[in-house]
């Protein structure tokens, strides 16, 4: 139960990091292309995907540290 909770927790953290990174990158790309809305939309979807990856990695690190104790 606790591992599932921690996994969801890390996915949430990863999504927050990824989305904020994605919006920042998307805004920059959008301003270069004179289409900020499109860049932000791209950034949000990109950020969500990155967020899941970050979450999985953080969860794996956490689980590895737990098994080392």
- Domain layout of the chain by residue ranges: 2-68
- The candidate with the shortest Cα–Cα distance to 18, out of 51, 43, 55, is 51
Mean pLDDT of 29-39: 83
**Verdict on whether the full-model pTM lies above 0.85:** no
Instruction: Find the helix or strand (DSSP H, E) in which 64 lies.
Output: helix 36-68
pLDDT digit string, tens, across residues 12-23: 888 888 888 888
Q: Vertex 62, ends 58 and 67: CA angle to 5°?
A: 150
Write b or e for each residue in 42-62: b if 16 or more Cβ atoms lie within 10 A of its Cβ, otherwise e.
bbeebbeebbeebbeebbeee
Backbone torsion region of residue 35, taken as left when φ is above 0, otherwise alpha when ψ lies between -120 and 50, otherwise beta: beta
């Amino acid at each position: 139960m606790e591992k599932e909770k921690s996994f969801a927790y890390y996915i949430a953290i990863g999504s927050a990091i990824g989305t904020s990174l994605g919006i920042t990158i998307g805004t920059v790309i959008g301003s270069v292309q004179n289409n900020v809305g499109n860049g932000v939309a791209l950034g949000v979807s990109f950020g969500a995907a990155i967020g899941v990856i970050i979450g999985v990695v953080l969860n794996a690190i956490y689980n590895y540290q737990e098994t080392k104790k």
